[in-house]
Each structure stands twice: as structure tokens, then as C-alpha cells.
Amino acid sequence: MSLLQLQSIRSFYGQIQALHDISLHVGQGEIVTLIGSNGAGKSTTLKAICGQVKTTGKILFEGNEIQSHPPHTIAELGIAHVPEGRRIFPGLTVKENLEMGAFQVKDKKQITERMERVFQYFPRVKERLSQKGGTMSGGEQQMLAIGRGLMMNPKILLLDEPSMGLAPVVVEQIFEIIQKLNQTGMTILLVEQNAYQALQIADRGYVIQTGSIALQDHADALLGNEQIREAYLA
């Protein structure tokens, strides 16, 4: 059984249909990547999973239908969304930003334990706990955004363009951390314009074109596919 399964998803912004029958699945322990050009529908697919856009079709998480749940219930089930553009709280400290990720947890000890776990992946976040989120570099803010997602203790992380706007060396670090998270058991659905690097760490990939899935395959096969190379890996 897949951890997450989308069946014939159609999503709408008012009258505009952004997704046309998207079907995909993510198995426990996988990294699956969605690649495609600007406006293809990658972010909308993540929003559909999180209940943030009007959607028809079925979304199954651990075998249960979740498409009619409100966003907070979907989050509580173990689906953490780290949106595009990082969206940390710039005026709050790094520690407060992390705490926001565990807002539903009342037990202080549990919050501290989760924070310690975040620091294992992001030691740099620990060094900056009392600093305002907005004063951190782009890469550090991305790390904080992922860390905040981890504070929910999710079963799956939905990452929307974590490499966006970051210097190549920082992008490298972010991808290494994503890989490390996966190696320690986290299932990941990764949206990326940086298709080459995403496919290098992914198990499988889906290519989205104008709201539909144009191609799906093992990451190695997509990396070796001539059409994909020309369109997305140039």
C-alpha cells in the first residue's frame, strides 16, 4: 500500500482548472519528485494534498480518504508542507519559529525532544536560536522552514522548491540534508525546477506539463531520457 495516493485529481482556481486528472503515488520511505516548468502545476499538486485548493478526485493517506478534510486535520495526520518561498515568520526568533511547527503539542519535553532532532539535521539552526528568523540567510531560512515542518513529527514531507534562489553550494547542502532525512526514514515528495539534482536523489519522478502528468519513471530512467534531458536538464 502506498503511503500517499492521488487518484484523478482536478484542482481549480475559480474557473481556471490548474490540474487535469493527476494520479500519482508515494511509497513509504521513497523520495518522489515532481518536475516541470513554471506554471505546470507542481505547487498546486502539493496544495491539493494539503486541502488548500478546490479539488475533485480522491486523495488517500495511509489508505484513508483525506480530500474532504480541512488543512489542519491533514497536517495533524502527518503531512507537513514546506511551501515555496520559505514563509518563515521573519519577526519571530528561530526558536519561536520552530515552536510554531509544534503548536498542537502541549508537552514541553516533547517539544524539546523534537527540537533536538531538528538540530541533528540542522546544527546551524541551533546556533541561531535567539536570532530573528528574518535576519538569517536564504539557505538558513530554508533550513528553518524544513525544521519547522519536522517539528510536526510528520510521516511525509512535501517540499516545494527548497533550492529556489539559493547559491549552488547551499543548494548542495539542502539536497544532502533531504537525502539524509530520507535515509533516516522520512518519506519525501519533492517539487523542484532543479530537475537534475532532484532526480539524482529521488527514487522516482513525475513530469508535469500544463496540469497533467506527461511521464513517470524511475529517476535513473528520467535522467537518461533524451527528451527530458533536452527539456529540463539542459
User: Where do contacts with ligand ATP occur on this chain (CB under 6 A)?
Assistant: 13, 16, 18, 36, 38-44, 84, 193
What is the smallest separation between the CB atom of 223 and ligand ATP, expressed in angstroms? 20
What is the smallest separation between the CB atom of 46 and ligand ATP, expressed in angstroms? 8
Q: Closest CB to ligand ATP among 80 and 102? A: 80
Task: Calculate helix-pair angle for 108-121, 168-183, nearest 10 degrees.
Answer: 120
What is the smallest separation between the CB atom of 195 and ligand ATP, expressed in angstroms? 12
What is the smallest separation between the CB atom of 91 and ligand ATP, expressed in angstroms? 25
Q: Closest CB to ligand ATP among 43 and 141? A: 43
Q: Closest CB to ligand ATP among 47 and 69? A: 47
Residue 29 to residues 22, 71, 101, 188, 189, Cα–Cα distance (Å): 21, 23, 22, 8, 10
DSSP 22: E
Q: Closest CB to ligand ATP among 7 and 212? A: 212
Q: Closest CB to ligand ATP among 5 and 11? A: 11
In 10 A of CB 214, how many CB atoms?
15
Alpha carbon distance 155, 234 (integer Å): 34
H/E segment holding residue 217: strand 212-218
What is the smallest separation between the CB atom of 42 and ligand ATP, expressed in angstroms? 4
Burial of 2 (0-12, 13-18, 19+ CB in 10 A): middle
